[in-house]
Homo-oligomer: A and B are copies of this chain.
């Protein structure tokens, strides 16, 4: 949860008045998003989310994220849409931070997705990948293999403070992934952080995707691997192959997966697990004094990484009978 930046009443009123959304009627800081400050704003015209981008989001990347949301929404993906101010701008400044006003999405995120929700996610992810095909901007994935090496260097001996032996295990894993990381898979816009808290449901349907602030251009199948990690493990660390099968089958129903994408899935899943193991370890070692969020547990992703290391082929993710 996070509201890092306070906005004064006058600043807020002036800011809202610069949009064509009527007068402000309410503004509540909300406990959502780790990286930014978010406010749920009611005006005479409706509901909006006001986001102030904090230091972990690079200002230079914001045009990519905002344009992507507009691009996706125009192609039928339900996601927050940046509102244009009276001058036509979507990227603004407020309280010394880059800021944007986006439309509010109905829906509720689920903590423990069920099989049906995993299928809806798979379908939604594939639709998102197709909608992104024509997005013209580019942003490299700073948290892929080339980013993990310096991140691991920054963690250094701290890894073993978190979990004894973790440093050596990460080093071996990085060695393996450097040798086996795929290079020729289909690329496109990926969400890269599509955890259950970034997906909204309304009754029996997926009602929207949020939080595009890790989106980038990378292998589409890597996005699936992130979701296998985030959606298909139970809280006791067991892998729910039925959920994985539901996710992958639903994905395939919208966008076909090539044999090389399937073959690479265990490697991509190891990489995705390593990515969150590394960032969580780093965050645990570098707790911001001003942070209002408890750092997440790195060991959860170490267990997931070890699971994928034992996987023999994509068939272990539930696609065996196909």
B26 adjacent to A107 (CB under 8 Å): yes
In the assembled complex, A322 has its CB within 8 A of some CB on chain B = no
Report copies per complex.
Answer: 2
> Please, which residues of chain B bring their CB within 8 A of the CB of A106?
25-26, 42
Q: Say how far A66's CB is from chain B's closest CB, in angstroms.
A: 21
Interface size class of A (residues with CB under 8 A): 20 to 34
From 203 to 234 in chain A, residues with beta carbon under 8 angstroms from any chain B beta carbon are 203
Task: Tell me which of B25, B30, B111 contacts A29 (CB under 8 A).
Answer: B30
Docked complex Cα distance between A202 and B29 (Å)? 18
Contact of A31 among B29, B107, B111, B202 (CB under 8 A): B29
Q: What CA separation (Å) do A6 and B32 show in the bound complex?
A: 13
Decide: A31 near B9, CB < 8 A? Known: A25-B202, A26-B108.
Answer: no
Q: Does A146 contact B (CB under 8 A)?
A: no
Cβ of A78 to closest chain B Cβ, rounded Å = 13
Digitize A97-131: 1 where CB-to-B-CB distance is under 8 Å, 0 elsewhere. 00000001111111110000000000000000000
Q: List the interface of chain A (C-beta within 8 A of B).
A: 1, 3, 6, 8-9, 12, 23-32, 40, 42, 47, 104-112, 202-203, 292
Residue contacts A-B, CB under 8 angstroms, 18 given: A1-B1, A1-B3, A1-B31, A3-B31, A6-B111, A8-B111, A9-B108, A9-B110, A25-B108, A25-B202, A26-B106, A27-B108, A29-B30, A29-B31, A30-B30, A30-B31, A30-B40, A292-B292
